[in-house]
Structure 1
């Protein structure tokens, strides 16, 4: 560990792992000094720390924070970000609403304290230096995160929080627009301008116009050989959770795929649903066939995937759980490969490629990276991470239960990593023949809410204020292009009525 101490974008001194001063000629630029340190100490973690916080550095935790070479982490002592919250107007991702009391995935970096491996810095090309260190850190993380750099807010950098933190510098309005232009598609700069006018009552034309002259920033880096030092697997034991309703043959095929795995599951938990009170199980093969794992079978008349998965999660015994579906297919080495990735990257939650036959991933997703999605039919989770987490019954038969579940995981200190080379085929089987149509109470009303109240519920629960208002603005334009009424005035009136109805019913769901 090498610590670069700085103040107001100026490097002051360099410290070793014992926080003793090293003789090192610092450059005028803190970024240049950081890259020079990486070349001089290629096997170390290069940390930065504002001079006030040096005495609070928790040196004993550094190796635990950087458990593989492709991690960048920081912490804002005042628990605010350099990039203003207004970025939420155009960024709807999970990475913006940071929970500072846990390790949280985010590209929002702080110059207060943080670090990255020298090996990563030495493998990096194309990232331009800039006068503002905070801007540089946020830019590097924003550009490199989708390509496989793991970025976090990490409270364990400090032994304790200082009584009085130095107020985090905020990007100016001009820098905010510059950041938007350099790191997002051009159209989002216009959306940011519109939201600033509508919601902040600020006319920011000068900053907007000036931003149009900035070019996109980019970064490339050679992927490092990763082997996590964090031990996350004590037993290679995994239970599989499968909710099912009316898909007997599809479920049988899933069980056959599990039965030939080179690393077999310990338990397969099947929750079968049939709403008919006089019905009995149709899954005779669960007991008549011989299976190389224990099958726990629950039959219930209560339908709903959220309820079924929650029932199954309560029956999990193994250290790991595979959230599966009844219309998936996968190769014989899937579970073995899953554990190889878990141990290689030191992850507690992973999700796989989950496409239908003939589909392919867009090129930008062909990296192992932190993802904002979570799939309840294609994810593996460490069981202890699920201690206080279940599928939200308020979202049963609606949309957003996977998003809600993933957000719960992240807010409790877990990250979700996407592995494109782990593949599950989703057959998208037709619904079982004895399913009954569930009607939400708002579906009986003459005026229909828009967006769906379940979607609105999730947005209200997890979005920042700015993200929520940005969602409203984006929805306004998206829905306008989808409906026949092109009169902007009557459309606006209807949009507001539908939006208020959606909020009304979302609030009802919250009281569920």
Structure 2
């Protein structure tokens, strides 16, 4: 381990080995020393640390934090690099960081952090001329996260300190526009400019124009396959796994799923089957299946109340195993999926995993293991300890967004969401798919209709920063302009504002009712 101690992300103060010995590097600046250490010590962890934070560096936790070679982590103690204005054009969960837990994000701070030397060298080709340490760290994480680098904000990097209130932003408008142009599709640079004009009452014309003279890094490929992941974390948990399987009106599909689970090389401990059938006089259609002999405990719950959130929550109340598989009733599951998934979770040192989840005629689009910006409620395996007090919110019942909300609850408890394309479950999308029970919402009589859907608005209100909300609104307005008949932009924005306000009203209503 080598520790690069700097002052204000520019001046190199010292480089220390783990024993405290200083390493002479001449008159190098902070970034030059960073690359030098990666080249000279590729098998070691390279830490960076602001000089006034060094005494609080939590060396005892370092091995636990960096438990495999493809981890980059930092923590903002006094300063962050990018301003919250980046939320105008980035609406992913990585932007609104929960600093109280280990949280998956590409937001990096120059205050304290680390990355393995040979991992850092993978990025030198793109950034060897970069002179801004904060820009460099955030760029590495931004590209790296899409290519399989695991990036985190980790409060345990420091000791004996309450979660501080970050007061300093290092990047100015020029840095922000340069970053957005480099790492996003070009249109977002213009949207950011309009957000500054309309929301910030600022016209950063120089920053906007100069951004276009920088090189693009968007969707750059970094091959990290020769840096194999093998976590040093040792799991004390068993392989016991419970399956939560909600269903409504799909007897044949449920039988197929149960048979797939019967044939697993790792047999589930429990399969919790929640059957929904509305109507006071209705009885179960699955008694024949329930009476069959299964190699697992089949817990059958029958309810006349509908709603997948309600059904899954009934299942969560019955969980007793160390792991939970959230499963849909029209899945096809190869015999090794559960066993392979738990092996992958241990290899990666993570707490959950989302499998690939394609329909029979679809191709897999994302082909790298990586941190995931969403969550799949029909193809996830999660460590049970993170599900305590986590439930599917009835705010989103019969609507959209319950899976994203569930994923955000996990993130805010320190459970990162990981996607693994090498684990695959097929989603048949059976003909009776979707919500199957049509609910008439109170806002369906509104004119104009709320836009976005009030359940989507509830998700925005619950998890987006103010900048993300405004950016989402503006980008949605621009997106739908080409798809409607009102070509007068003033009239169009007037009607869209009415639709937005109605969505805002009903979104708040849903949250108040939950």
TM-score range, shorter chain: over 0.9
- Where 1:14 maps in the other structure, the secondary structure is strand
Aligned Cα RMSD in Å?
1.8
1:91 alignment partner in structure 2: 90
Counterpart of 1:222 in structure 2 is 224
Q: How does 1:422-433 map to 2 (within 5 A)?
A: 422-431=423-432
The alpha carbon displacement at 1:15 in A equals: 1.4
Residue-by-residue CA offset, 1:386-442 (whole Å, 9 max, x unaligned)? 112100111100111111111111011110000011111111112279954211111
Q: Separation in 2 of the partners of 1:114 and 1:434?
A: 45
Instruction: Tell me what 2:245 maps to.
Output: 242
Q: Which residue of 1 aligns with 2:140?
A: 140
Q: Which residue of 2 is the match for residue 401 of structure 1?
A: 402
Q: Secondary structure at the match of 1:49?
A: strand
Find out whether 1:456 has 2:442 as its counterpart.
Answer: no
Gapped runs of 5+ residues in structure 1?
none
Cα 1:281/1:233, change in 2 over 3 Å: farther
Change in Cα spacing, 1:471 to 1:164, as seen in structure 2 (3 Å) is closer
* Residue 297 of structure 1 pairs with residue 296 of structure 2: no
Distance of aligned partners of 1:26 and 1:366 in 2 relative to their CA distance in 1, 3 Å threshold: farther
Determine if contact 2:257/2:332 at 8 Å carries over to the other structure: yes
Partner of 2:352: 349
In 2, distance between residues paired with 1:246 and 1:219?
A: 45
Q: Which SS does the other structure have where 1:127 is aligned?
A: helix
Find out whether 1:128 has 2:131 as its counterpart. Answer: no
The question of 1:189 aligning with 2:150 is answered no
Quick one: distance in 2 between partners of 1:115 and 1:28? 19
- Using the alignment, how far apart are the partners of 1:499 and 1:167 within structure 2? 33
Are the structure 2 counterparts of residues 292 and 492 from structure 1 closer, same or farther at C-alpha, using a change threshold of 3 Å?
Answer: same
1:494 partnered with 2:491: no
Say if 2:164 is the partner of 1:161: no
Do the aligned partners of residues 408 and 26 (structure 1) sit closer, same or farther apart at CA in structure 2, a change above 3 Å counting?
A: farther
Give the conservation status (yes or no) of the 8 Å contact 2:76–2:166: no
Contact 1:126 1:219 in 2 (8 A): no
Structure 2 distance, partners of 1:275, 1:295, is 22
Q: 2:419 maps to what in 1?
A: 418
Deviation sequence 1:337-367 (CA, Å, 0-9, x none): 10110110011011011111111133xx211
TM-score normalised by L of structure 2: 0.95
Q: Aligned-pair distance for 1:485?
A: 2.4
Question: Quick one: distance in 1 between partners of 2:403 and 2:2?
Answer: 41
C-alpha deviation, 1:464, in angstroms: 0.6
Change in CA separation of 1:432 and 1:198 when aligned onto 2, cut-off 3 Å? closer
Which residue is 2:381 aligned to? 380
Q: Does the 8 Å contact 2:312/2:392 carry over to 1?
A: yes
3-state SS, counterpart of residue 168 of structure 2: coil
Distance, in Å, in 2 between the alignment partners of 1:280 and 1:433 is 22
Q: Could you tell which deviates more after superposition, 295-304 or 1-10?
A: 1-10
**Partner residue in 2 for 1:263:** 266
Deviation of 1:461 (Å): 0.7
- Given that residues 246 and 434 in structure 1 are in contact (C-alpha distance below 8 angstroms), is that contact kept between their aligned partners in structure 2? no
User: Structure 2 matches for 1:296-335, cutoff 5 A?
Assistant: 296-335=299-338
1:435-494 per-residue CA deviation (whole Å, 9 max, x = no partner) reads: 542111111334421111000000011001100000000110122222222232222111
Structural mapping, 1:39-58, within 5 Å: 39-58=39-58
CA–CA distance in 2 between the matches of 1:100 and 1:302?
A: 39
Deviation at 1:23, TM superposition (A): 2.8
Whether 2:99 is the aligned partner of 1:100: answer: yes
Q: 3-state SS of the aligned residue for 1:159?
A: coil
2:390 counterpart residue number? 389
What is residue 287 of structure 1 aligned with on the other side?
290
Q: Report the 3-state secondary structure (helix = DSSP H, G, I; strand = E; otherwise coil) of the residue aligned with 2:126.
A: coil
Cα deviation per residue 1:24-53 (whole Å; 9 max; x = unaligned)?
315523222122222333332110000001
TM-score between the two structures when normalised by the length of structure 1: 0.96
The DSSP-based 3-state class of the residue aligned with 2:356 is strand
Contact 2:17 2:23 in 1 (8 A): no
- Other-structure match for 2:114: 115
Q: Classify 1:201/1:55 alpha carbon distance in 2 versus 1 (closer, same or farther; 3 Å).
A: same
- Match in the other structure for 2:66: 66
SS of 2:506 mapped into structure 1? helix
Aligned residue pairs, count: 508
